[in-house]
Amino acid sequence: MCGIVGYIGKKEAFPIIIKGLQRLEYRGYDSAGVALLNGDLNVYKKQGKVSALKEYVQDKDVSANVGIGHTRWATHGEPNDVNAHPHVSNSGKFAMIHNGIIENYAALKTDLEKKGYTFQSETDTEVFINFIEDIFLNTKVDLAEAVRLALNKVIGAYAIAIISLEDPNLMIAARKGSPLVVGLGKEEFFLASDATPIIEYTNEVVYLDDREIAIIKDGKLTIKNVEDVEMKPYVQTVDIELEAIEKAGYDHFMLKEIFEQPKSIGDCLRGRLNAKEGHLHLGGINDYVNKISNADRILIVACGTSWHAGLVAEYIFEEYCRIPVEVEYASEFRYRNPIVGEKDVVIAISQSGETADTLAAIELAKSKGATILGVCNVVGASIPRTSHAGSYTHAGPEIGVASTKAFTAQISVLTMMALMLAHKKGSLTESEYRKLLVELEAVPDKVAKCLDLNAQIEIISEKFKDAANFLYLGRGYNFPVALEGALKLKEISYIHAEGYPAAEMKHGPIALIDENMPVVFIATKDSSYEKIVSNIQEVKARKGKVIAIVTEGDTDIAGMADYTVEVPAAHESLMPLISVIPLQLLSYHIAVMRGCNVDQPRNLAKSVTVE
């Protein structure tokens, strides 16, 4: 959530910052603003989209070689022009942008008000920059030292960037709990919440670690921690093509990312899986295979769509590895006193690698001696750096807020992880193992066949775009898919939808079924097939409208359901990678038909980096 962009160099800063903010729109926001240094400190900010900010500054002076920009997702104070970032100190000398939450801002504000400070906004950020100014004025230290001293006093999460009217060759940035990356150019530097605004200009970056401060002054970068110890910058090369963060002719990023899944799953498998040779290797966990194989249990912690991928993994790990698995909401795990030991393995799943609750959960588990494995998409993110080991999904940038290709990539990695462990343990026979490798290698082509159903699903979507509620039902491996299908629909179309295990329908949800209730069944042929056929009949007996995802050639359910969508046959444990595709398309088309902002649904952020 929120987005930071900064530039200091010889180019015009404003076009770079505005383009960067547009690249960060996927993170979710409700206002935008910039602060520019050109002899004066000019601050322009506006509620609404970056486009509103661009229109607002058309007759303003935006010339500058130094500037910072921000897209805000409201926490303290409603979305409006005043609460938008950047915020300026009382003297007018310092400007700050900030992602995160300062938990002790109220106490700091009270102390500052007693000293005569006044505040225009309701934000914790305005308190933060004035707290820094107060230290600067009263301790007679330079600005970088004032920032460091302030960071030792504030409580909470932050990614900040600060510029100074008195020192236009200076930019200061710091992070704790919210991501921040420094791009290294030729006689220029860039700041951003992630690499997407930077890659157009440089592929060399430094990811700041928690409690680190970046000081860019007179064309040089210095990194210190809050204990005032200088750190050696670790320069990484970002492997993202500019085309990967463009729409490439699609109407929305979400649709593009749905259609990228044959490639993203293939990229996830490539170099790791060779079914012909019976080869499967995940280098990221190779040194921990024995420890995982001998674990007392596996704990999976995640949020949202990643939690649903974890539920699929629970079925796979328990079936093939015969290791007990528990799947936890990271937000709940961190706030109870969980029983975690040294023989537990914790798998943390996060597309961004920055999810605040998941980070806190793994820190808790790590403190109790557990082994932490990360499954993430973004290279250099916090969770991979905090974990003992893990695997990247290699799905490529996912810009749409509603996750699609990240979900299937996560399941692909977790499936490979489980099969690798099962083979090591001997809990799968060699023939079963090789059969599953062949089946897994075939998944990208089967996903491509599912995408050919797009026109059919668009027609079905037209029939149900005005529904007020949906039920999604599945059994076994397809139960988490039902949850994910319901989440996608509610996220982007704002239709109330719930997912359930199909057998639970009779324990409450069946009371809702009438002629106005669409019910989506994931009813592919598997060990629960006969049971789910009975569930469909129960819904039809109550005049419910049935949309069924079925295996190709299934004529039995076609005779009962109002609409059927046929997907390629696949091994039961791999079916979630196939059956989820029509549900993603269904939610997409319904949302478009309802006039919803598919890529930036209301109130949602791509990466939840604060509680």
Catalytic residue annotation: 2, 606
The label of the residue with tokens 């790590």 reads 366
Is 181 in contact with 205 (CB distance < 8 Å)? yes
> For the CA atoms of the chain, what is the radius of gyration?
25
Tokens at 415, concatenated: 């499936």
Tokens at 103, concatenated: 């938990």
State the Cα–Cα distance between residues 98 and 250, nearest whole angstrom.
Answer: 33
Give the relative orientation of helices 405-425 and 575-593 as an angle to the nearest 10 degrees: 170
Is 215 in contact with 222 (CB distance < 8 Å)? yes
- The helix or strand, by DSSP H or E, that contains position 135, with its residue range, turns out to be helix 124-139
Strand partners for 46: 32
Phi and psi, residue 390, nearest 5°? 155, -170
What is the side-by-side order of every strand in the sheet holding 563-567? 496-501, 469-474, 518-522, 545-551, 563-567
Closest CA to 574 of 517, 509, 526, 536: 526
Tokens at 428, concatenated: 């799968």
Q: Please give the full DSSP string across 188-202, using - where no structure is assigned.
A: -EEEESSSTTTTTT-
Buried/exposed 155-189: b ≥16 CB within 10 Å, e otherwise: ebbbbbbbbbbebbebbbbbbbbbbbbbbbbeebb
**Helical residues (DSSP H) of 217-281, grouped into ranges:** 253-259, 261-269
Tokens at 116, concatenated: 């005569």
Closest CA to 428 of 319, 270, 536: 319
State the Cα–Cα distance between residues 144 and 146, nearest whole angstrom.
Answer: 5
Is 226 in contact with 175 (CB distance < 8 Å)? no
Q: Which amino acid is at 460?
A: I
> Residue 91 CB: number of other CB atoms within 10 A?
12
First to last CA, the chain: 11
State the Cα–Cα distance between residues 128 and 14, nearest whole angstrom.
Answer: 25
Q: In the chain, what are the helix, strand and coil shares in percent, each to the nearest 5?
A: 40, 25, 35
> Residue 251 CB: number of other CB atoms within 10 A?
12
The label of the residue with tokens 């106005």 reads 516
